[in-house]
């Protein structure tokens, strides 16, 4: 799964929030990601309430994942995601794995393996995190190859998937995105 016949690359983006109405932050982010330039939303996962990984003195998170078809480069996509994070009032206080209004991580960018200062893809913690793998499994096939590390199904089999619970679905947002993904028709081409 990489470059597809309609142009662009299939990229998977992880979404997380545990401050200032996390569910609202994630639902707004889904809408904003659908509007990224040179990109089209292919699918959105359910939303999940997840126990914090890392420092425990922080609230539970809400996590989700989306699949985008994009003509942005990986660096261009990262810059676009960071603009969305800033619009959500994300402040980086330097605390690793600390609380945040919105975190957008590039999980996968086609079949690319990227290891540059400021960008590592697949996301280095992907294989260890149920809060990433469970939403990803909503929108990606089990056979999806993770560059450098087996299939999605293999990663899920190895990862303890506790502490992750789906929130009730709401048709208004990612339900529509999932309907699009399940349609036999190709989605509209992303705008240039």
Enumerate the active-site residues: 90, 100, 103, 105
Give, as ranges, the residues between 131 and 150 that touch ligand A4P (CB under 6 A). 131
142-147 own/partner pairs: CB under 8 Å, 24+ apart: 144/1, 144/108, 145/1, 145/111, 146/108, 146/122, 147/108, 147/111, 147/112, 147/113, 147/121, 147/122
Polymer length of the chain = 192
Residue among 61, 88, 139, 144 that touches ligand A4P (CB under 6 A): 61
Peptide bond into 122 cis (omega under 30): yes
Residue, CB closest to ligand A4P: 16
The count of chain residues that interact with ligand A4P, using the rule CB under 6 A, is 22
**Contact between 105 and ligand A4P (CB under 6 A)?**
yes
- Say whether 105 sits in a helix, a strand or coil: strand
10 Å Cβ neighbour count for 149? 14
Stretch that binds Mg ion, among 27-35, 68-76, 102-110, 175-183 (CB under 5 A): 102-110
Residue among 25, 63, 103, 129 that touches Mg ion (CB under 5 A): 103
158: part of which helix (H) or strand (E)? helix 152-158
Which of residues 51 and 188 has its CB atom nearest to ligand A4P in the complex? Answer: 51
CA separation for the pair 171, 174 (Å, rounded): 7
Q: Decide: residue 90, CB within 10 A, 0-12 exposed, 13-18 middle, 19+ buried.
A: middle
Which of residues 123 and 154 has its CB atom nearest to Mg ion in the complex? Answer: 123
Residue among 85, 105, 138, 173 that touches Mg ion (CB under 5 A): 105
Least CB distance to ligand A4P at residue 65 (A): 11
Residue among 38, 63, 70, 101 that touches ligand A4P (CB under 6 A): 63
Stretch that binds ligand A4P, among 21-29, 32-40, 119-127, 178-186 (CB under 6 A): 119-127
CB contact at 8 A, 173 and 27? yes
**Contact between 120 and ligand A4P (CB under 6 A)?**
yes
Applying CB under 6 A, which residues contact ligand A4P? 16, 50-54, 61, 63, 78, 92, 96-97, 103, 105-106, 118-121, 123, 125, 131
């Amino acid at each position: 799964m990489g470059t597809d016949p309609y142009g662009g690359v299939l990229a998977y983006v992880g979404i997380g929030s545990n401050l200032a109405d996390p569910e609202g932050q994630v639902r707004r982010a889904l809408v904003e990601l659908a509007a990224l330039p040179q990109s089209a939303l292919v699918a959105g996962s359910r939303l999940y309430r997840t126990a914090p990984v890392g420092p425990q003195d922080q609230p539970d998170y809400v996590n989700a994942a989306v699949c985008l078809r994009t003509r942005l480069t990986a660096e261009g996509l990262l810059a676009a995601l960071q603009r969305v994070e800033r619009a959500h009032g994300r402040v980086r206080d330097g605390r690793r794995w600390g609380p945040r209004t919105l975190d957008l991580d590039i999980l996968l960018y086609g079949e690319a393996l990227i290891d540059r200062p400021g960008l590592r893809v697949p996301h280095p913690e992907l294989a260890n995190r149920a809060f990433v793998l469970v939403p990803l499994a909503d929108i990606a096939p089990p056979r999806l190859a993770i560059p450098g590390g087996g299939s999605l199904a293999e990663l899920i089999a190895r990862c303890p998937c506790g502490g992750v619970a789906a929130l009730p679905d709401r048709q208004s947002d990612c339900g529509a995105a999932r309907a699009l993904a399940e349609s036999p028709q190709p989605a509209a081409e992303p705008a240039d």
